[in-house]
Structure 1
């Protein structure tokens, strides 16, 4: 019915090119590029000294009852401390 005499005539190899069937095709393997987590890239920036810069939390709203000194301190940016969190963020940023 399908003719089992030849290598290319079997139903398993139907539709496969001759080069692939005989192993003559060259394969190129590339490492997949990771995608940057966009939410992380908007919250953290890499500084010149290779540290990560972040903003303080709690400055969005309801800041009227706080003192000016506290609000000014929270408005300034700070860096992420070295450790497991720093490594996790760097993996998400692909750096």
Structure 2
């Protein structure tokens, strides 16, 4: 499986798959939403918190149906959303306004 879909491989699916059964439907659509934009196998596995083997099986299935192509590293890729970093100052401001609301009964 690692030869077909290496962890550092970049792929893009051409069409959304249509799962016949409800088994793993959510996972298939999550993977599809990432790979429709193009993406790196290991990065998407980490983002979706899935085992790398699951992502590799998805890639292999799409290769078998001729619904996937390898893309270059510099092509447009899926970029996971960045988690906003709450600074300590922002936390203090929220805390201050929260206490103020409690005292004022708002």
TM-score, normalisation: structure 2:
0.17
- Which structure shows the bigger proportion of residues in helix conformation? 2
- Point out which structure has higher relative CO (alpha carbons under 8 A, 6+ apart): 2
TM-score, normalisation: structure 1:
0.19
